């Protein structure tokens, strides 16, 4: 694939690094390729994994990727909560986990499978009365976000090291893994927050086939050098 082909239209897969926003990746690719670039679904800065970018005429395909199933792997920590439901904010409450057993954790996921009503985190990009929820939350506003119907197709516990629990899920559009983790803690009459998250698949696209930022940088520089040598 040449830079000219990317500018014309392409689907690019990236493995988003930790602590990068999705827009950091979009802006880098825009600058490097001089192409029109759009994303097919963001990841939180503390999440890693598959980010699909569409360039040129392929930006029209973005909705088809947004509507497909997504797979994530992650780790939650029981016994504590944070306002953001993840590591972005400091722990605000702690709970005794001595009554929680491995069996309790292992048997709980089935309760969440299917169409469920979910409250998005207040630290999210959802618009509330014309303003991003996370901006209202950071300003100290007291508000709630209406529950929305979302779909969870698979929920598997892959390892239990209490208070840490590893999991894998497959979900639909608009699903907040942070909210699932928060609700999981509540279902145990306890608390929980998300400590790690990685998106591994969107539809038939897998993170193992994605560029790293370093690989793409090397590729762009190589293409630019080829153009100079012509």
**Which residues, at least 6 apart from 7, have a Cβ–Cβ distance to it below 8 Å?**
33, 34, 35, 36, 55, 56
| Number of CB atoms found within 10 A of residue 81's CB | 21
Among the listed residues 19, 24, 44, 92, the single catalytic one is: 44
**Residue 218: both structure tokens together:** 């090397």
* Angle at CA of residue 201, ends 171 and 176, nearest 5°: 35
**Which residue spans within 6-92 are E strands per DSSP?**
9-16, 37-39, 48-56, 70-78, 80-81
Catalytic-residue membership of 96: no
Structure token digits, residue 213: 């930022």
| Nearest Cα residue to 120 out of 89, 140, 143 | 143
Enzyme catalytic residues: 44
């Amino acid at each position: 694939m040449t830079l000219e082909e990317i500018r014309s239209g392409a689907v690019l897969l990236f493995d988003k690094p930790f602590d990068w926003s999705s827009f950091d990746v979009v802006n880098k690719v825009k600058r490097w390729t001089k192409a029109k670039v759009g994303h097919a679904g963001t990841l939180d800065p503390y999440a890693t994994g598959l980010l699909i970018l569409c360039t040129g005429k392929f930006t029209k395909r973005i909705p088809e990727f947004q509507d497909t199933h997504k797979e994530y792997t992650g780790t939650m920590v029981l016994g504590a909560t944070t306002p953001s439901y993840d590591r972005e904010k400091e722990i605000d409450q702690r709970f005794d986990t001595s009554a929680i057993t491995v069996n309790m954790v292992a048997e709980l996921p089935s309760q969440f499978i299917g169409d469920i009503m979910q409250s998005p985190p207040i630290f999210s990009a959802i618009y509330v009365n014309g303003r991003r929820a996370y901006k209202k939350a950071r300003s100290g506003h007291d508000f709630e976000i209406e529950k929305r119907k979302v779909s969870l197709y698979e929920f598997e516990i892959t390892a239990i090291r209490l208070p840490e629990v590893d999991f894998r899920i497959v979900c639909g559009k608009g699903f907040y893994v942070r909210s699932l983790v928060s609700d999981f803690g509540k279902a145990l009459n306890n608390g929980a927050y998300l400590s790690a998250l990685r998106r591994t698949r969107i539809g038939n696209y897998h993170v193992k086939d994605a560029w790293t930022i370093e690989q793409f940088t090397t590729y762009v520089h190589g293409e630019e050098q080829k153009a100079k040598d012509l």
